[in-house]
C-alpha cells in the first residue's frame, strides 16, 4: 500500500493530498489504479479516516481521481506535459523622471480639498451604508446625477434632468462607449491639432475618422462638410491644445451642420471650462442647441484631480432610452463610494468653493509665470499666447530652432515639454505650457536651459 512520511510543516490532509498528487503526476500511480479505501489507508498511515477523506475529496474535486459508486476511488487520466510550475520574469518598470514637466495635468497635493473630502468620506461610510452597496445601472449613482444636474443649471446654464446624465470613468471610457453606441462603421471626426488620445482610441478600435483642421475660430465647419463624418468631437470652450475659444458664429454654423442629418452628432468636450480666467464661461453648444444633436462631456480630471477618474456625459433627451436599452448589460465603472462622496461634495457647495479658490490660485500662478517669463532673457527669443482660458497656454519660439531636437535635448536635461506638432499640427516651434503642477521655484532654471539650447542653433 502507498506509504508516506509526514512532517509537522503542513496539515496532514494537505501533505497526503500533495503526496498522492505527486505520485499521479510522476506516474507512480497510474491511470485507473484503485486507491486504498479510506479506512484502510488511515489505519496503514496511522492517521484519521477524516484526514484521508478530505485529501481524497480535494483530489476528486481537482479531477486527479474519480469515484465509482460502491467501489472506491481511481486515478484519472491526466496528461500533464503542459503542467508545471514556472518562475515569472521580473522586469522593473523603467520611468524617466523630470524635474520640470510642462506636459502634466496633475495638481499639487496642497490644492486638493482633502479636508472636506475626508469629512464627507467619513460621513458617507458611516451614514449611507445601504446606499453604498445598492446596485447601480449604466448611469451611476442617482444622487451624483442630481448634484451634477443642479450644478450644470446654476453654473453653466445647462438645464437637464438627471436621467440625461451618465457617470463614467473619464473621457477615455466615454469614447469607447460612444464608439459602441454610434457603431464601428460610423465615421468620426476630430480636431487637428487636438487630443492625441481620441485618435489613439479610434485607431485602437479601427474606426474610420477624419481629421478636421482648425483656423483662428476653431474647427473649420466647411472642411467638416466635405467629409463623411457623422460624429464630430470638439472642444469649443477652450480648444486643446491651442486654447482657441470658438465664437458664436462658428458655433451656430457647427450646429447647422449637425441639424441637417439625423445621424450627425457633436460631442462637446468641455474639459476645462471651469478655469476661464477672463469673463464668464461661454454658453455651451449643448445649451444653445435646439435640435438635440449635441452630447456634452466633462470630467473632474482638471477641476478636482486627474487620479479621481470620474466624468459625465449629458445626453439629449431623445437618446436616453436608446442608451439604456443598448447598454443594459453594463454597470457604471465608477465606485459608488466615490460617487456618493462627490455628490455631497458638489451639493454642499464644496465644489464651487474649490473651483473659485483654484481659479484664483491658477490665475495668480499664471500671472507669476508671465511676469517671470517677461523678466527672463527667454522673452527676447519667444512669446506667450492664448493665456486667458484653461490651465495651459502656448509658448512660441521666434528664432529658428529644430523642434524635435529641442524637445529631445530638454528631455535629456530633465524637462518634459510638448509641441503643437505632437497633437497633429504642422511642425512649428509652438509649445504647450501646462502650468497647473509646475514648481515655480524651478521655472527660471527651466527657462535658462531653454535659452541655452536655443542659442546653439
Q: Which stretch binds its own copies (CB under 8 A): 239-247, 264-272, 392-400, 427-435?
A: 239-247
Sequence-separated (6 or more) residues with CB below 8 Å from residue 204: none
331 scored as a contact of its own copies (CB under 8 A): yes
159 scored as a contact of its own copies (CB under 8 A): yes
> Comparing C-alpha atoms, which of 436, 440, 100 is closest to residue 275?
436
DSSP state of 277: -
Residues between 208 and 227 that touch its own copies (CB under 8 A): 217
Interface pick for its own copies out of 9, 68, 70, 85 (rule CB under 8 A): 85
In DSSP terms, 226 is beta-bridged to none
108 scored as a contact of its own copies (CB under 8 A): yes
318 scored as a contact of its own copies (CB under 8 A): yes
- CB closer to its own copies out of 320 and 425: 320
83 scored as a contact of its own copies (CB under 8 A): yes
Q: Is the dihedral of CA 160, 164, 166, 167 positive or negative?
A: positive
Q: Which stretch binds its own copies (CB under 8 A): 247-255, 362-370, 376-384, 405-413?
A: 247-255
Per-residue DSSP letters for 217-274?
TEE-HHHHHTS--SEEEE-TTS-TTT-PPPPHHHHHHHHHHHHT-TT-EEEEE-TTGG
Residues between 408 and 427 that touch its own copies (CB under 8 A): none
- CB closer to its own copies out of 318 and 364: 318
DSSP state of 165: E
- CB closer to its own copies out of 49 and 121: 121
> In which element (H, E) is residue 356 found?
helix 350-374
| CA separation, residue 22 to residues 14, 110, 163 (Å) | 12, 58, 59
Residues between 116 and 145 that touch its own copies (CB under 8 A): 117-118, 121-122, 125-126, 129-130, 132-136
Q: How many CA atoms lie within 13 A of 142 on its CB side?
A: 4
CB of 242 to its own copies, least distance (A): 15
Residues between 35 and 54 that touch its own copies (CB under 8 A): 54
Interface pick for its own copies out of 37, 49, 104, 347 (rule CB under 8 A): 104
Interface pick for its own copies out of 26, 68, 91, 325 (rule CB under 8 A): 91
308 scored as a contact of its own copies (CB under 8 A): yes
Interface pick for its own copies out of 245, 273, 303, 419 (rule CB under 8 A): 245
- CB closer to its own copies out of 164 and 298: 164
Please, are residues 354 and 113 in contact by the beta-carbon 8 Å criterion?
yes
Interface pick for its own copies out of 330, 348, 402, 416 (rule CB under 8 A): 330
Please, are residues 452 and 410 in contact by the beta-carbon 8 Å criterion?
no
The site that binds its own copies (CB under 8 A) totals a number of residues, namely 110
Calpha distance 20→41 (Å, rounded): 12
CB of 349 to its own copies, least distance (A): 20
> Comparing C-alpha atoms, which of 393, 382, 192, 452 is closest to residue 275?
393
CB of 400 to its own copies, least distance (A): 28
Interface pick for its own copies out of 36, 72, 333, 424 (rule CB under 8 A): 333
- CB closer to its own copies out of 148 and 282: 282
Q: Which stretch binds its own copies (CB under 8 A): 279-287, 349-357, 365-373, 423-431?
A: 279-287
249 scored as a contact of its own copies (CB under 8 A): yes
Please, are residues 264 and 301 in contact by the beta-carbon 8 Å criterion?
no
Interface pick for its own copies out of 68, 79, 96, 400 (rule CB under 8 A): 79
- CB closer to its own copies out of 70 and 85: 85
Calpha distance 354→107 (Å, rounded): 13
Interface pick for its own copies out of 46, 69, 279, 441 (rule CB under 8 A): 279
Helix, strand, or coil (residue 366)? helix
| CA separation, residue 39 to residues 5, 33, 35, 226, 439 (Å) | 18, 18, 11, 84, 75
Q: What grid cell was written down for 166?
A: 451618465
Calpha distance 188→204 (Å, rounded): 13
- CB closer to its own copies out of 2 and 320: 320
Residues between 375 and 404 that touch its own copies (CB under 8 A): 388
Calpha distance 224→250 (Å, rounded): 12
Helix, strand, or coil (residue 300)? coil
- CB closer to its own copies out of 55 and 401: 55
Amino acid at each position: 500500500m502507498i506509504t508516506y512520511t509526514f512532517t509537522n510543516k503542513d496539515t496532514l490532509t494537505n501533505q497526503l493530498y500533495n503526496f498522492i498528487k505527486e505520485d499521479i503526476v510522476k506516474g507512480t500511480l497510474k491511470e485507473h489504479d484503485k486507491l486504498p479505501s479510506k479506512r484502510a489507508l488511515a489505519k496503514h498511515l496511522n492517521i484519521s479516516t477524516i484526514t484521508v477523506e478530505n485529501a481524497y475529496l480535494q483530489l476528486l474535486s481537482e479531477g486527479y481521481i474519480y469515484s465509482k459508486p460502491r467501489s472506491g476511488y481511481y486515478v484519472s487520466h491526466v496528461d500533464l506535459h503542459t503542467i508545471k510550475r514556472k518562475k515569472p520574469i521580473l522586469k522593473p518598470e523603467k520611468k524617466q523622471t523630470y524635474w520640470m514637466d510642462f506636459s502634466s495635468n496633475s495638481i499639487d497635493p496642497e490644492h486638493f480639498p482633502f479636508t472636506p473630502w475626508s469629512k464627507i468620506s467619513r460621513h458617507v461610510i458611516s451614514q449611507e451604508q445601504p446606499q453604498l452597496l445598492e446596485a447601480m445601472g449604466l448611469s451611476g449613482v442617482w444622487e451624483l446625477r442630481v448634484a451634477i444636474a443642479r450644478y450644470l443649471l446654476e453654473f453653466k446654464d445647462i438645464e437637464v434632468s438627471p436621467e440625461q446624465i451618465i457617470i463614467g470613468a473619464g473621457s477615455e471610457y466615454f469614447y469607447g462607449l460612444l464608439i459602441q453606441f454610434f457603431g464601428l462603421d460610423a465615421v468620426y471626426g476630430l480636431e487637428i491639432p487636438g487630443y492625441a488620445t481620441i485618435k489613439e482610441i479610434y485607431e485602437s478600435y479601427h474606426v474610420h475618422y477624419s481629421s478636421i483642421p482648425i483656423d483662428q475660430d476653431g474647427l473649420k465647419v466647411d472642411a467638416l462638410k466635405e467629409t463623411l463624418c457623422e460624429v464630430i468631437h470638439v472642444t469649443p470652450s477652450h480648444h486643446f491644445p491651442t486654447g482657441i475659444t470658438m465664437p458664436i458664429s462658428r458655433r451656430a454654423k457647427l450646429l447647422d451642420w449637425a441639424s441637417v442629418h439625423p445621424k450627425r452628432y457633436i460631442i462637446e468636450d468641455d474639459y476645462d471650462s471651469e478655469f476661464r480666467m477672463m469673463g464668464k464661461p461661454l454658453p455651451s453648444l449643448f445649451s444653445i442647441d435646439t435640435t438635440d444633436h449635441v452630447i456634452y462631456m466633462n470630467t473632474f480630471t482638471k477641476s478636482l484631480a486627474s487620479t479621481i477618474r470620474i466624468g459625465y456625459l449629458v445626453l439629449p433627451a431623445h437618446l436616453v432610452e436608446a442608451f439604456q436599452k443598448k447598454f443594459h448589460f453594463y454597470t457604471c465603472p465608477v465606485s459608488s463610494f466615490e460617487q456618493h462622496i462627490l455628490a455631497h461634495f458638489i451639493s454642499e457647495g464644496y465644489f464651487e468653493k474649490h473651483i473659485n479658490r483654484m481659479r484664483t490660485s491658477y490665475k495668480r500662478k499664471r500671472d507669476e509665470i508671465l511676469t517671470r517669463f517677461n523678466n527672463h532673457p527667454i522673452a527676447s527669443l519667444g512669446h506667450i499666447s492664448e493665456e486667458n482660458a484653461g490651465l495651459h497656454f502656448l509658448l512660441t519660439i521666434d528664432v529658428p530652432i529644430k523642434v524635435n531636437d529641442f524637445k529631445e535635448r530638454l528631455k535629456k536635461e530633465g524637462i518634459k515639454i510638448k509641441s503643437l506638432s505632437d497633437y497633429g499640427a504642422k511642425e512649428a516651434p509652438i509649445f504647450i505650457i501646462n502650468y497647473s503642477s509646475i514648481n515655480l521655484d524651478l521655472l527660471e532654471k527651466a527657462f535658462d536651459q531653454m535659452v541655452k539650447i536655443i542659442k546653439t542653433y
